């Protein structure tokens, strides 16, 4: 990848991160003084970043290239240097626009959504922190800086999921997200260690250049990066945190847990395409994980009554599609990003729509208490409907282009994956229709005291913008994005016409139509206000998140606790038996060693002499060996 | 070699040795002040004198840096090279911090942390009289200067005899200072005596090691030993060399406080007056590590295959024992003592690596160790400064349980302490992280990858007990019936704390320049 040094407009790039970061700290440090106007300042920050990003993008449109911006030299001594640098290329600039664009809309929406929360300033500070961290993640020119952003978004996600920490469930959900993500982080850290040990650098440029010589190590690194991606992007088997993460305020779900942060794993895999190109095994693993998750997410989405959890399951599923695409090699990478961006639009749209519904329904999320909301919430309904059309892949909407490409590419690579992806599309049609029917159609099942009303303009305008994007983004980006991403993804362009529909495309439409029809048929009639008892295995498994928590409980938490209990037992029974005397406090190696610290100089002298003998023995052993 | 029949007039290079001469002069003048100046002004005079002396010495080193040419001075007894200058500057910096902590009186109702009359028997009428008259032991300042002089000599000694003499010069004042706490005097005296007894034992081993090496090489200069190792390389194992090597290591590791020569540290750290503990914790370690590096890299570099496993063993033991025992501590001073043992282990990781600056080398062992000492030193002095200002009835509040809830009652003190502890734990974006990274990289390049893995695991264990204190400060509340106050210290301690905090942040964010300087000045003269 050829890069040029930063000049002119590009030297402004660090400001994109710096402005939201500074705003976040300012709001946190100023405290209540900034309560009155803090949210306005915080909303301005991503808009400024977006403007800079847009200017850079326009300049790159004229002259596509990758630019490295050196922010500062963190360390330089001998032949060791670590630069903190940014990489602005065709891939990262798209993310910048998505993050700051959708981010700005969600900030605006939050002004209305959080209007009555007394900790609104803090909420906006965290949102800005997230924007800064997410931009760091995608703009990094090496894995180390990426890791800083990676941890930063993890922190922001934790703070925002548990924002209403007075609810125990929210606090627990925040912890869960944080802990599950640690597993993924371990993968990323180990991948970095491996790269550093192999080639002495974690710069993208160096790693990409050295990838062809890595041999079997590429497979290891590929798997470690996949583990990281699974954590951040809620892919099986690290998916369990995402559903609980819905405890956070809805704008957070829209921004972090739908449009941006959860796609970081996809970004990581595509950014590391040079490594995956060396390892068919790792690449196949990515595709398989993606396929499993797209089905698992769809399954969960089909069986939940909580509107946000349906959308969360759907997010898992759609990211599964992106992972699948990323695992199809260079041919799929551009499609993965394409779907990632269109998904960012339509899923943010639907999450914000769900938030708007909750806003009108006294924060109820149970769809069995909705129904017939199309009337009182006309704008929300219409915008949501556009998101719906986009996600099921209605012809000429955004999802139609982006998802069909993935299914088609999957068929090209591997028929099994293609068929599974196709089935996923059918289920998507089913559960999204179910959601629409339960929420907006049918009979009023409103709880007493609930008076649905449309949300204020500050909330509906972002909805309208996102709805329009959900419809038209595909048309605009379809041919262009492959060409645009050809360099960073190492992919040759396949021209796909706007109106040209392949046999697989027709098949997909048919399958989706069946899914929609089943959804409509099953939920057109009356819907019970409580979850019906069922023996349907599919429904039970889905309602329980495919027993993800049970799996964690049995496979990880209990064995860990068991190990800890075993160690404690060993402490109590074995170690405590060793030290004599009255001052036995508790077990443990430290406690045992501590006994040597008895305060007598003579004992200390003895330890010292024993040490002399120990050292002499070490040298003597060295001489023998 | 010295020719016994011919007495040579020694040549002394006055200008490069100015820092040492200034320290000596300042210390002697301090003694004279004790003899001739009225009590009332002694504290002010002594603290100002100590401060100016060290600043003067530091200025002399900095001036010398501008036009620096490595050389052997004073009849080859002193090596005047890059590491010497770096360690001198570090020691003088820590000396400044020490003076500031020594001079602090605001936290103790206008009285210093030292006994009113250290010679008086605790509880005796003499002591009560001294307390009533508000007497102070201001000899602590000249003692600190003498000790500092010894440390500078120790760090630059190129001669085995000078090495031993300077070891004693810096140790004897510390034995005394340890026994001079104002409160809990018996504990303090016990600490001083213990330190003296065990220190003497270790010095004995050290001297014996010197004798062995003299017997082996027939010379007292470090270079003589190196030459002897080279010339006898093919003659198989030499018992004198091996014994000398082990015994000298014992003496030095004792001063560093590495396991299994660490037993004195918790008792002495706890008993000694807090300012002395702070000074001793970092300055002694710096001087001893500097001497260790010089002796083993310059004199015994040819026998590296013999001593690398020794230091690797000691490093693992120090990290392990320090970290696991620290988990059990409920007293902050003891906790910091065990933390110091752990840090000694991390430093020895880099020592074991034994890489020298050169083409393709990321960071030399000497550079990494010097940087580590700097990051550890500023945080240590700052932490002890804060420790002095958090008080309960009857003295400092050193129990961890006393620090519960400090985050709410005094967020500034708790916040800065948190910063220091995060740096100790080696959390990224603090100086401590870069220090750990540097020593790990040095060891890794020296072919001790396994040791780095152990060290990383141990740093995770060590992070636990630092986080325990942080959790206590921010997430727990003070037990009922405990009264703890934060006394605002004088500008002396504030300066130490603020400088420590700034350095911890700046060296974490922008470590490049400093690490580069230390790496550039890491070549020993041979």
What contacts 24+ positions apart, CB below 8 Å, involve A407-410?
A407/A504, A407/A508, A408/A502, A408/A504, A408/A505, A409/A325, A409/A328, A409/A331, A409/A332, A409/A335, A410/A287, A410/A324, A410/A325, A410/A328, A410/A332
Q: In what order do the strands lie in the sheet with B390-392?
A: B395-396, B390-392, B484-486
Contact: B325, A588; criterion CB under 8 Å:
no
**pLDDT given at position A554:** 67
Structure tokens at A481: 């994005």
Contact: B362, A77; criterion CB under 8 Å:
yes
Give the closest residue to B253 by CA, choosing from B325, B312, B193: B312
Contact: B326, A619; criterion CB under 8 Å:
no
**pLDDT given at position A117:** 84
Q: What is the DSSP string of A606-618?
A: HHHHHHHHHHHHH
According to DSSP, residue B391 is labeled E
Name the pairing type of β-strands A66-77 and A80-88. antiparallel
- Judge whether B361 is closer than 8 Å to chain A, CB to CB: yes
Angstroms from A235 CA to nearest CA on chain B: 28
Interface of A with B (CB under 8 A): 72-81, 148, 588-591, 593-594, 596-597, 599, 601, 603-605, 607-608, 610-612, 614-616, 618-623
**pLDDT given at position A499:** 59
Pairwise CA distance, residues B239 & B235, whole Å: 11
Question: Which residues of chain B neighbour A591 with C-beta distances below 8 Å?
Answer: 328
Rounded mean pLDDT, A140-157: 90
- Flag whether pLDDT at A579 surpasses 50: no
pLDDT tens digits for range B52-90: 999 999 999 999 888 888 999 988 999 999 999 999 999
Count contacts between A and B (CB, < 8 Å).
Answer: 122
Question: Which residues of chain A neighbour B206 with C-beta distances below 8 Å?
Answer: none
Question: Which residues of chain A neighbour B314 with C-beta distances below 8 Å?
Answer: 615
* Number of Cβ within a 10 Å radius of residue B67: 6
Name the pairing type of β-strands B484-486 and A66-77. unpaired
SS3 A576: helix
Least confident range from A110-119, A487-496, B337-346: namely: A487-496
In whole numbers, what is the pLDDT of chain A averaged over residues? 83
**pLDDT given at position A578:** 39
pLDDT band with cut points at 50, 70 and 90 for residue A582: very low
Angstroms from A601 CA to nearest CA on chain B: 6
Pairwise CA distance, residues B438 & B364, whole Å: 9
- Flag whether pLDDT at A570 surpasses 70: no
- Flag whether pLDDT at B382 surpasses 60: yes
Least confident range from A78-82, B336-340, B511-515: namely: A78-82
- Judge whether B364 is closer than 8 Å to chain A, CB to CB: yes
pLDDT tens digits for range A1-26: 455 665 677 888 888 999 999 999 88
**pLDDT given at position A577:** 44
Q: Are B250 and B261 in contact, with CB atoms under 8 Å apart?
A: yes
Contact: A593, B260; criterion CB under 8 Å:
no
- Judge whether B447 is closer than 8 Å to chain A, CB to CB: no
Out of A78, A593, A615, whose CB is closest to B310? A615
* Number of Cβ within a 10 Å radius of residue A116: 7
Pairwise CA distance, residues A421 & A414, whole Å: 11
Pairwise CA distance, residues B164 & B57, whole Å: 23
According to DSSP, residue B13 is labeled -
**pLDDT given at position B177:** 95
Out of B307, B509, B516, whose CB is closest to A77? B516
- Flag whether pLDDT at B474 surpasses 60: yes
pLDDT band with cut points at 50, 70 and 90 for residue A581: very low
Contact: A594, B325; criterion CB under 8 Å:
yes
Rounded mean pLDDT, A561-573: 60
**pLDDT given at position A576:** 45
**pLDDT given at position A587:** 40
**pLDDT given at position B265:** 92
pLDDT tens digits for range A524-547: 777 777 777 676 766 666 666 666
Pairwise CA distance, residues B44 & B23, whole Å: 18
DSSP H or E run through A328: none
How many residues appear in chain B? 526
- Give CA torsion, residues A248, A252, A253, A254, to 10 deg: 160
pLDDT tens digits for range B401-447: 899 988 888 888 999 999 999 999 988 889 999 999 999 999 988 99
SS3 B363: coil
According to DSSP, residue A163 is labeled G
Question: Which residues of chain B neighbour A621 with C-beta distances below 8 Å?
Answer: 309
Question: Which residues of chain B neighbour A76 with C-beta distances below 8 Å?
Answer: 512, 516
More confident residue, B445 or B144: B144
pLDDT tens digits for range A396-419: 888 888 888 889 888 888 889 999
What contacts 24+ positions apart, CB below 8 Å, involve B38-41?
B39/B135, B39/B136
Contact: B305, A622; criterion CB under 8 Å:
yes
**pLDDT given at position A132:** 94
Q: What are the distances in angstroms from CA A76 to CA A87, A202, B428?
A: 20, 15, 17
Pairwise CA distance, residues B416 & B408, whole Å: 13
pLDDT band with cut points at 50, 70 and 90 for residue A567: low
More confident residue, A360 or A82: A360
The segment with the largest mean pLDDT, out of A550-559, B232-241, B346-355, is B346-355
Contact: A605, B201; criterion CB under 8 Å:
yes
**pLDDT given at position A30:** 80
- Flag whether pLDDT at A583 surpasses 50: no
pLDDT tens digits for range A31-71: 778 888 888 999 999 999 999 999 999 888 877 778 888 87
Pairwise CA distance, residues A527 & A522, whole Å: 9
The predicted model scores a pTM of: 0.74
Determine the residue among B188, B307, B328, B521 to mutate to test chain A binding: the one whose Cβ has the most chain A Cβ atoms within 10 Å: B328
Phi-psi region of B93 (alpha: psi -120 to 50; beta: other; left: phi over 0): alpha
Rounded mean pLDDT, B107-119: 85
In whole numbers, what is the pLDDT of chain B averaged over residues? 91
Q: What are the distances in angstroms from CA A547 to CA A4, A237, A530, A537?
A: 50, 11, 22, 12
Give the number of C-alpha atoms closer than 13 A to the C-alpha of residue B463, restricted to the C-beta side: 15
Contact: B309, A73; criterion CB under 8 Å:
no
Pairwise CA distance, residues B164 & B156, whole Å: 12
Q: Are A128 and A24 in contact, with CB atoms under 8 Å apart?
A: yes
- Judge whether B246 is closer than 8 Å to chain A, CB to CB: yes
Q: Are B506 and B434 in contact, with CB atoms under 8 Å apart?
A: no
Out of B205, B250, B324, whose CB is closest to A593? B324
**pLDDT given at position A535:** 66
* Number of Cβ within a 10 Å radius of residue A441: 18
Angstroms from B410 CA to nearest CA on chain A: 16
Contact: A590, B327; criterion CB under 8 Å:
yes
Q: Return all residues near A435 (Cβ < 8 A) that are at least 6 apart.
A: A307, A310, A311, A367, A388
Determine the residue among B246, B312, B359 to mutate to test chain A binding: the one whose Cβ has the most chain A Cβ atoms within 10 Å: B246
Contact: A615, B510; criterion CB under 8 Å:
no
**pLDDT given at position A125:** 92
Angstroms from B197 CA to nearest CA on chain A: 8
User: Nearest residue of A to residue B365 by CA position?
Assistant: A78
Question: Which residues of chain B neighbour A81 with C-beta distances below 8 Å?
Answer: 512
- Flag whether pLDDT at A551 surpasses 60: yes
Contact: B313, A78; criterion CB under 8 Å:
no
pLDDT tens digits for range A161-191: 888 878 888 888 888 888 888 888 888 989 9
Strands (DSSP E) found in A241-338: none
Structure tokens at A474: 């595909």
Question: Which residues of chain B neighbour A597 with C-beta distances below 8 Å?
Answer: 263, 266-267, 325
* Number of Cβ within a 10 Å radius of residue B311: 29
Out of A604, A614, A618, whose CB is closest to B198? A604
Tokens 């008080």 belong to residue: B391
Pairwise CA distance, residues B92 & B96, whole Å: 6
Structure tokens at B219: 């010379």
């Amino acid at each position: 990848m050829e890069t040029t040094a930063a000049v002119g407009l590009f030297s402004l790039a660090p400001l994109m991160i710096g402005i939201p970061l500074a705003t976040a700290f300012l709001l946190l440090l100023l405290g209540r003084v900034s309560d009155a106007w803090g949210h306005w300042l915080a909303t301005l920050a991503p808009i400024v970043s977006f403007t800079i990003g847009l200017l850079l993008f326009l300049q790159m449109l004229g002259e596509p290239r990758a630019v490295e911006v050196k922010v500062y030299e963190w360390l330089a001594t001998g032949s060791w240097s670590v630069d903190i640098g940014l990489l602005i290329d065709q891939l990262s600039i798209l993310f910048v626009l998505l993050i700051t664009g959708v981010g700005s809309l969600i900030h605006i929406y939050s002004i209305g959504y959080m209007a009555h929360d007394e900790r609104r300033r803090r909420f906006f500070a965290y949102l800005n922190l997230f924007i800064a961290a997410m931009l760091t993640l995608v703009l990094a020119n090496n894995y180390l800086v990426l890791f800083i952003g990676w941890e930063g978004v993890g922190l922001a996600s934790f703070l925002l999921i548990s924002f209403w920490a007075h609810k125990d469930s929210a606090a627990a959900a925040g912890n869960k997200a944080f802990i599950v993500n640690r597993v993924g982080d371990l993968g990323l850290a180990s991948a970095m260690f491996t790269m550093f040990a192999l080639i002495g650098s974690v710069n993208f440029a160096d790693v990409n250049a050295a990838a062809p010589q890595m041999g079997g190590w590429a497979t290891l690194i590929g798997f470690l990066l996949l583990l990281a991606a699974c954590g951040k992007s809620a892919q099986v088997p690290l998916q369990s945190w995402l559903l609980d993460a819905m405890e956070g305020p809805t704008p957070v779900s829209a921004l972090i847990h739908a449009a941006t942060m959860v796609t970081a794993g996809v970004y990581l895999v595509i950014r590391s395409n040079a490594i995956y190109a060396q390892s068919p095994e790792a690449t196949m693993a990515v595709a398989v994980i993606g396929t499993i998750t797209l089905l698992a997410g769809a399954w969960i989405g089909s069986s939940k009554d909580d509107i946000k959890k349906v959308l969360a399951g759907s997010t898992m599923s759609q990211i599964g599609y992106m992972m699948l695409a990323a695992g199809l090699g260079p041919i799929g990478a551009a499609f993965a990003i394409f779907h990632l961006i269109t998904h960012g639009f339509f899923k943010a749209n639907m999450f914000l729509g769900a938030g708007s519904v909750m806003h009108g329904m006294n924060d109820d999320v149970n769809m069995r208490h909705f129904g017939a909301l199309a009337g009182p919430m006309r704008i929300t309904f219409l915008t949501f409907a556009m998101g719906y059309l986009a996600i099921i892949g209605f012809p000429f909407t955004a999802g139609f282009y982006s998802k069909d490409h993935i299914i088609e590419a999957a068929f090209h690579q591997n028929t099994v994956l293609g068929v599974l992806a196709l089935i996923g599309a059918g289920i998507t049609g089913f559960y999204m229709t179910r959601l629409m029917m339960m929420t907006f159609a049918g009979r009023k099942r409103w709880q007493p005291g609930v008076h649905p009303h449309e949300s204020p303009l500050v909330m509906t305008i972002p909805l309208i913008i996102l709805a329009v994007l959900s419809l038209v983004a595909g048309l605009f980006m379809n041919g262009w994005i492959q060409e645009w991403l050809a360099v960073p993804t190492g992919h040759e362009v396949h021209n796909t016409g706007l109106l040209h529909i392949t046999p697989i495309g027709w098949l997909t439409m048919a399958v989706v139509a069946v899914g929609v029809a089943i959804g409509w048929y099953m939920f057109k009639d009356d819907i019970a206000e409580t979850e019906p008892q069922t023996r349907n295995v599919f429904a039970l498994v889905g309602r329980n998140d495919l027993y993800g928590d049970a799996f964690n409980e049995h496979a990880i938490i209990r064995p860990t606790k068991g190990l800890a209990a075993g160690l404690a037992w060993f402490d109590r029974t074995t170690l405590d038996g060793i030290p004599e005397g009255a001052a036995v406090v508790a077990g443990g190696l430290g406690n045992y060693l501590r006994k040597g610290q008895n305060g007598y100089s003579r004992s200390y002298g003895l330890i010292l002499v024993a040490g002399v003998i120990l050292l002499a023995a070490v040298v003597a052993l060295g001489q023998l060996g | 070699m010295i020719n016994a029949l011919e007495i040579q007039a020694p040549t002394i290079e006055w200008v490069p040795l100015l820092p040492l001469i200034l320290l000596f002069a300042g210390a002697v003048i301090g003694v004279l002040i004790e003899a001739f100046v009225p009590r009332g002004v002694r504290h002010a005079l002594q603290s100002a004198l100590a401060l100016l002396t060290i600043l003067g010495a530091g200025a002399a080193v900095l001036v010398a840096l501008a036009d620096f040419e490595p050389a052997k001075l004073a009849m080859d007894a002193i090596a005047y090279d890059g590491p010497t200058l770096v360690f001198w500057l570090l020691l003088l910096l820590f000396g400044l911090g020490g003076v500031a902590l020594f001079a602090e009186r605001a936290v103790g109702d206008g009285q210093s942390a030292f006994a009113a009359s250290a010679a008086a028997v605790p509880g005796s009428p003499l002591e009560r009289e001294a307390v009533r008259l508000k007497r102070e032991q201001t000899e602590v300042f000249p003692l600190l200067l003498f000790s500092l002089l010894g440390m500078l000599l120790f760090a630059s000694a190129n001669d085995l005899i000078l090495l031993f003499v300077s070891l004693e010069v810096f140790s004897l004042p510390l034995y005394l200072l340890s026994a001079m706490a104002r409160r809990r005097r018996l504990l303090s005296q016990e600490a001083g005596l213990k330190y003296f007894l065990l220190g003497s034992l270790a010095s004995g081993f050290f001297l014996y090691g010197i004798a062995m090496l003299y017997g082996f090489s027939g010379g007292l200069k470090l270079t003589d030993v190196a030459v002897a190792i080279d010339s006898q390389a093919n003659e198989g194992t030499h018992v004198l060399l091996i014994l000398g090597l082990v015994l000298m290591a014992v003496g030095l590791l004792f001063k560093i406080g590495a396991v299994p020569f660490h037993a004195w540290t918790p008792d002495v750290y706890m008993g000694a007056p807090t300012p002395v503990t702070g000074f001793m914790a970092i300055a002694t370690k710096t001087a001893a590590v500097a001497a260790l590096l010089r002796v083993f890299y310059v004199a015994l570099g040819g026998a590296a295959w013999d001593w690398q496993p020794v230091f690797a063993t000691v490093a693992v033991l120090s990290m392990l024992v320090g970290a696991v025992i620290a988990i059990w501590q409920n007293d902050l001073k003891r906790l910091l003592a065990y933390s110091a043992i752990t840090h000694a282990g991390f430093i020895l990781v880099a020592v074991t690596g034994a890489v020298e600056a050169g083409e393709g080398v990321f960071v030399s062992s000497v550079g990494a160790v010097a940087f580590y000492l700097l990051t550890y030193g500023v945080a240590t002095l700052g932490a002890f400064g804060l420790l002095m200002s958090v008080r309960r009835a009857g003295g400092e509040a050193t129990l961890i349980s006393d620090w519960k809830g400090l985050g709410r009652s005094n967020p500034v003190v708790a916040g800065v302490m948190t910063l220091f502890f995060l740096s100790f734990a080696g959390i990224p974006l603090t100086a401590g992280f870069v220090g750990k990274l540097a020593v790990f990289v040095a060891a890794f390049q020296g072919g001790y990858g396994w040791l780095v893995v152990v060290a990383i695991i141990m740093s995770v264990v060590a992070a636990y007990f630092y986080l325990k204190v942080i959790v206590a400060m921010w997430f727990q509340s003070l037990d009922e019936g405990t009264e703890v106050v934060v006394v605002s210290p004088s500008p002396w301690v504030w300066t130490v704390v603020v400088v420590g905090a700034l350095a911890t942040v700046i060296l974490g964010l922008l470590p490049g320049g400093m690490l580069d300087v230390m790496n550039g000045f890491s070549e020993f003269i041979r």
